[in-house]
C-alpha cells in the first residue's frame, strides 16, 4: 500500500487537504538471472575477474602460482535472482592445471560430480539432491585452488576459464577468465614503465613519438619468493638472445636491450636471499621496421647453477606498435621496348608496401590516347592485392597498341596504386603513381610512309599542302625553262648563220679585186624597203 498525502495552508495553518492510497498486489515468482561471479586474490584485496564487468579488469595480467603447491584464490557467487537457486561450476579451460574448490566458510571440499563433470554448489551430500539452495541476494564465498602443470615443456602462462550455470534455468550462465603464471621460487614484474598502467604494456607512439628507432625505458622488480633458503645467484638473460623470443620472431634478435642497476652499471647477475628483491632499469631500442600490433618479448631470470632443470622466470613485456599511414611505391622491373602497331606488350612491375601494417591495394592503369589500351594483369584477374608489411608484390602492365599507331608516337601511360580500407578512406596523396612513355618505332621506310599516308599527322598534312604549293610552280618553271632553252638555241643558231655570211662576204671581196667592178643600176632603192638594225625585233 502506498499512501499519498497533500498538505496546504488553511486559515493560516498547515493542514492535510487530501489523502489517497494505492494498493498493489505483488505475487512472488521464480525468476532466475545469471549469477554475478568474481575472482579475488587470497587476501580478498586484489580483484582479478568479474562477470558483470568483463572489460574492467585485464584478464591477461598473469597471477603468480608456485609450481609445487595449490595456490588459493577467492571465488564469489552472488545470487541475483528473485528466489533461491543452486549453481554448477564448470572449468572450461585449465591448461593441465589441477583445480580444487572448497566452501571457504566451512572449509569443506566440493568434489567434481562424476555425472556431468562439474562442481555443484550448494553441494549435494552423498551425490543426492538435498534441496539446499543459495538464498536470493546472497553471496557464496568459495576457495579456488590451482596447481600448475608439473611438466616443464608446458607453457608457464595458462588461461583459466570458469562457467557458472543456474540450476533453475540452464540457459543462464556467467563466465570469468583470468591468467596464471607458474613460478619456481623467483618472480619478476614491471614496477614502472614509460606510459603508466597497465604496467608492462607500453605504447610506443606515446613513449617514443616520431622516432626512427624507438627507445623505451622501464623498471623491473625481481623477487625471491622462496622461504627459508640461502641466497641464490640469478642470471639476467638479454631478451635479444633468448631462444624463446627468437622462435616467436627472428626480428627480435635485432633489438637492443641495456640492463643496469640504480648506479647505471650493467647487471648480468644478481644474488637474492629468501624474500629479498631488487630493481633493474631496462632500456629497449627497437628497429626502424616493426610490424604494427602487440609484440610480447620475455626477460628471463634463471638460476646460476649446473643443474639440468634450473629455476627460472620469464617476464612478459608487451610493446604496442600503432599502424602508420599507407606508404606505397611503384617500381618498373623490365625495361621499355619499342612498340609496333597492332601488337600487345607486357611490362613487369612491382608495388612495395613501406608501411608497418598489411595493406589492401587497388592497382590501375590509365592512357588518355584514343584506341590505346593499358590494363593490369598477372593478379588472377583482379586488380586488388593484399601486401604484407615491408613487402612487395609483382604485377604486369599490358599495353595494346592500335593499328593506327604511327612511327615515333610517344604515348604517356600512368600506373597507380591506391590504398583501400573497409573502415576509412584515404586522401589522394596516399596514392602512388608512376608514369612511363610508350614509343612506336617502324623498322622500314615503306611502313613509315604507308603509316603516314593512311593515318597522317597534322604536321604531315601541312607539309603535303606546302609541298603542293611548291611543286606546281616548279613544274611550270621547268616547262618555261625548256621553252627558254629552245629560244636561246634558235637565237644562237641565227647568230651563227649571220657570222658565216659575213665571213663569206669578206672572202668574196678578196676574190673580187681581180674582177671588173660590178654593173649597178642607176635606179636607187626605195627607202621604205630598207631595214635598219634597230628595226629588227628579237623575240
pLDDT for the residue numbered 521? 52
pLDDT higher than 90, residue 272: yes
- Of residues 503 and 293, the one with the higher pLDDT is 293
Residue range 404-457, pLDDT digits in tens? 887 778 889 999 999 999 888 899 999 999 999 988 877 665 555 556 555 665
Alpha helices for 363-457 (secondary structure H): 445-454
- Neighbouring CB atoms inside 10 A of 338's CB total 11
C-alpha cell of 492?
A: 644562237
Rounded distance between C-alpha atoms, residue 290 and residue 372, angstroms:
43
Contact 157, 62 (CB under 8 A): yes
pLDDT at 525: 47
Answer yes or no: is pLDDT of 529 > 80: no
**pLDDT on residue 516:** 58
**Distance, CA of 135 to CA of 119 (rounded, Å):** 18
Which pLDDT score is estimated for 3? 80
As a whole number of angstroms, the distance between CA 120 and CA 133 comes to: 11
User: Which pLDDT value is given to residue 30?
Assistant: 59
Q: Which three cell numbers stand for residue 365?
A: 592503369
Distance CA 414, CA 244 (A): 48
User: How far is the CA of 2 from the CAs of 5, 7, 82, 457, in angstroms?
Assistant: 10, 17, 22, 101
Q: What is the C-alpha separation between 221 and 106, in angstroms, rounded?
A: 37
Strand bridging mode 98-103 / 139-147: antiparallel
pLDDT higher at 340 or 177: 177
DSSP state of 172: -
Q: What is the pLDDT of residue 24?
A: 77
Q: Report the range out of 37-41, 274-278, 374-378, 509-513 with the highest average pLDDT.
A: 37-41
Q: Which of 352-366, 379-393, 522-536 bottoms out in mean pLDDT, i.e. has the lowest?
A: 522-536
d(CA 149, CA 145): 13
How do residues 169-193 score in pLDDT, each as one tens digit?
Answer: 999 999 999 999 999 999 999 999 9
Using pLDDT thresholds of 50, 70 and 90, give the confidence band for residue 25.
confident
Check whether 269 has a pLDDT greater than 90.
Answer: yes
d(CA 446, CA 84): 103
φ and ψ at 450, to 5 degrees? -65, -40
Catalogue all structural domains in the chain, each as residue range(s) with its CATH number: 36-166 (2.60.40), 186-321 (2.60.40.2310), 328-440 (2.60.40.10)
Band the pLDDT of 539: cuts 50, 70, 90.
very low
| pLDDT the model gives residue 218 | 95
| E-strand stretches of 461-521 | none
User: What was the pLDDT predicted at 83?
Assistant: 86
What local confidence, expressed as pLDDT, does residue 528 receive? 47
141-177 residue pLDDT tens? 999 999 999 898 899 999 999 999 999 899 999 999 9
Taking the CA atoms of residue 253, residue 256, residue 257 and residue 262 in that order, the dihedral angle to the nearest 10 degrees is 170
Backbone phi, psi, residue 105, to 5°: -80, -35
DSSP 311: -
Amino acid at each position: 500500500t502506498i499512501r499519498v498525502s497533500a498538505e496546504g495552508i488553511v486559515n493560516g495553518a498547515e493542514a492535510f487537504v487530501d489523502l489517497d492510497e494505492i494498493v498493489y498486489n505483488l505475487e512472488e515468482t521464480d525468476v532466475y538471472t545469471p549469477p554475478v561471479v568474481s575472482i579475488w586474490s587470497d587476501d580478498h584485496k586484489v580483484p582479478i575477474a568479474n562477470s558483470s564487468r568483463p572489460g574492467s579488469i585485464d584478464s591477461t595480467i598473469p597471477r603468480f602460482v608456485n609450481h609445487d603447491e595449490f595456490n588459493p584464490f577467492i571465488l564469489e557467487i552472488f545470487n541475483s535472482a528473485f528466489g533461491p537457486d543452486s549453481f554448477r561450476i564448470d572449468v572450461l579451460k585449465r591448461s593441465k592445471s589441477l583445480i580444487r574448490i572448497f566452501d571457504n566458510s566451512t572449509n569443506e571440499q566440493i568434489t567434481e560430480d562424476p555425472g556431468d563433470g562439474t562442481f555443484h554448489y550448494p553441494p549435494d551430500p552423498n551425490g543426492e539432491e538435498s534441496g539446499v539452495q543459495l538464498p536470493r541476494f546472497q553471496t557464496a564465498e568459495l576457495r579456488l585452488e590451482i596447481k600448475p602443470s608439473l611438466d616443464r615443456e608446458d607453457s608457464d602462462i595458462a588461461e583459466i576459464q570458469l562457467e557458472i550455470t543456474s540450476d533453475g534455468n540452464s540457459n543462464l550462465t556467467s563466465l570469468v577468465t583470468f591468467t596464471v603464471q607458474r613460478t619456481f621460487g623467483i618472480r619478476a614484474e614491471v614496477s614502472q614503465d614509460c606510459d603508466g598502467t597497465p604496467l608492462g604494456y607500453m605504447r610506443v607512439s606515446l613513449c617514443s613519438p616520431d622516432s626512427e628507432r624507438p627507445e623505451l625505458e622501464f623498471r623491473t622488480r625481481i623477487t625471491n619468493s622462496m622461504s627459508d633458503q640461502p641466497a641464490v645467484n640469478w642470471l639476467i638473460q638479454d631478451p635479444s638472445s633468448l631462444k624463446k623470443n627468437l622462435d616467436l620472431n627472428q626480428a627480435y634478435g635485432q633489438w637492443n636491450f641495456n640492463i643496469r642497476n640504480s648506479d647505471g652499471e650493467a647487471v648480468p647477475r644478481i644474488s637474492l636471499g629468501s624474500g629479498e628483491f631488487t630493481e633493474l632499469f631496462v632500456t629497449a631500442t627497437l628497429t626502424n621496421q616493426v610490424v604494427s600490433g602487440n609484440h610480447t618479448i620475455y626477460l628471463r631470470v634463471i638460476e646460476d647453477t649446473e643443474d639440468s632443470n634450473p629455476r627460472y622466470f620469464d617476464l612478459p613485456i608487451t610493446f604496442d606498435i600503432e599502424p602508420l599511414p599507407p606508404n606505397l611505391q611503384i617500381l618498373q622491373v623490365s625495361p621499355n621496348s619499342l612498340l609496333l602497331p597492332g601488337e600487345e606488350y607486357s611490362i613487369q612491375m612491382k608495388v612495395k608496401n613501406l608501411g608497418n601494417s598489411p595493406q589492401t591495394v587497388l592497382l590501375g592503369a590509365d592512357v588518355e590516347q584514343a584506341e590505346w589500351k593499358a590494363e593490369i594483369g598477372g593478379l588472377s584477374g583482379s586488380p586488388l592485392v593484399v601486401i604484407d608489411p615491408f613487402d612487395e608484390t609483382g604485377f604486369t602492365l599490358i599495353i595494346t597498341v592500335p593499328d593506327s599507331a604511327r612511327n615515333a608516337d610517344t604515348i604517356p601511360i600512368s600506373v597507380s596504386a591506391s590504398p583501400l580500407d573497409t573502415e576509412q578512406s584515404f586522401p589522394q596523396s596516399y596514392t602512388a603513381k608512376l608514369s612511363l612513355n610508350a614509343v612506336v618505332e617502324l623498322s622500314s621506310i615503306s611502313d613509315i610512309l604507308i603509316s603516314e599516308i593512311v593515318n597522317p599527322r597534322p604536321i604531315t598534312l601541312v607539309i603535303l599542302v606546302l609541298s603542293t604549293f611548291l611543286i606546281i610552280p616548279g613544274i611550270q618553271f621547268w616547262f618555261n625553262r625548256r621553252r627558254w632553252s629552245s629560244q636561246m638555241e634558235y637565237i644562237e643558231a641565227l647568230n651563227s648563220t649571220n657570222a658565216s655570211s659575213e665571213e663569206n662576204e669578206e672572202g668574196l671581196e678578196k676574190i673580187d679585186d681581180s674582177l671588173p667592178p660590178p654593173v649597178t643600176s642607176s635606179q636607187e632603192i626605195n627607202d621604205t624597203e630598207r631595214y635598219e638594225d634597230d628595226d629588227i625585233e628579237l623575240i
